[in-house]
Structure 1
Amino acid sequence: MKLKKKISILILLILSVLALSSMNVFSWNSHFFYTELAIKNNDWINNFPEIEITPYTYGDIDHDEYNPEFVIKYLEGEIGEKVKASDILINYSDEPDWDLDTNLDLNKIQALTGGSQGYRHMYFSVFGGLLKAGVAPQRANHFFEMSKIAFEKGDNYWGFRFAARTLHYLEDVSQP
């Protein structure tokens, strides 16, 4: 009787793993959802004047390495049109997952983290900090600094768009 019970439990465990592994992991595919939840009751963001969509002009400042095939998309309209600050944050909090960080040779450890995207979107520190993997906190800081630069230039569109990327990496660090 014990053997039948063990086999039944094993079969249920295997079926559970197969069922769960075929689904998208909610927490890793919902940056827009978390961002929307975080800002939906924020009067400052919701009452911010509409912002003109501007082209990306930060290539001379931003010397970070990105996927050479990455193409900047404008989801909410064309350059020159107006958009809400909240829409920029929500729509582009997913942007780093649009292959921004793929196809890069950053570190030997990236082979253990699922490639360059995994390496940039995770951070682990073990053995009291002797072994570290991933650079998500640095990515968040990088885009926070880029956001400040854009706001200082008066470019609210890219200020909020870089802020959305910052949120993305902070959300990544908060995931298991």
Structure 2
Amino acid sequence: HPAYGFGRQPFGNPAVAISSQAPFHMGFFHQGAVFNAVAPGFTRSFTELRVQQYAGLAALAWQTGHAYWGWRFAGMALHHVEDLTQPYHASAAPGASLA
């Protein structure tokens, strides 16, 4: 959504509301130069931003005595880290190769 300041949706279909989640859960960091040249939008991902955001909120919650929210936000941060270990979240074409 433009009001949030993230700009144009880098990948996924903006006409489908749920597809806006994709850049926050997916990161194609190892696709290679050819892939990035063909699909430059895939180089933009907000996954690391979410990890930092939720980790910071977890630390703040623990520092202020809110253990429940500390663990809740820590879980959200770990969820986004875990997403990047899933083939369909870390590769635009799992199993495909240019070699």
Partner residue in 1 for 2:47:
136
Residue 175 of structure 1 corresponds to 86
Counting only pairs closer than 5 Å after superposition, residues 86-165 of structure 1 correspond to structure 2 as: 104-105=1-2, 106=6, 107-111=8-12, 115-125=19-29, 126-127=32-33, 131=40, 132-165=43-76
| Identity in percent | 27
Aligned mates of 1:156, 1:123 — CA distance in 2? 30
Q: Per chain length, whose mean CA-contact separation is higher, i.e. which structure has more relative contact order (CA < 8 Å, sep 6+)?
A: 2
What is the total number of aligned residue pairs between the two structures?
Answer: 73
Determine which structure has more spread, i.e. the larger CA radius of gyration.
1
Instruction: Report the Cα offset of residue 127 of structure 1.
Output: 2.1
> For 1:10-35, what per-residue CA distance to the aligned partner results, in whole angstroms no more than 9, with x for missing partners?
xxxxxxxxxxxxxxxxxxxxxxxxxx
Q: Distance in 2 between matches of 1:110 and 1:135?
A: 11
More helix by share: 2
Q: Which amino acid aligns with 1:116?
A: S
> Runs of 4 or more off by more than 6 Å in structure 1?
none
On the 8 A contact 1:122/1:134 being kept in 2, the answer is yes
Q: Which amino acid aligns with 1:151?
A: W
CA contact (8 A) 2:51 2:80 kept: yes
* Contact 1:144–1:163 under 8 Å retained in 2: yes
One-letter amino acid of the structure 2 residue matched with residue 124 of structure 1 = F
Offset at residue 121 of structure 1 (A): 0.3
Q: Provide structure 1 residue ranges, at least 5 long, that are not aligned to the other structure.
A: 1-103
Shift in Å, 1:124: 1.3
Compute the displacement of 1:174 (Å).
1.1
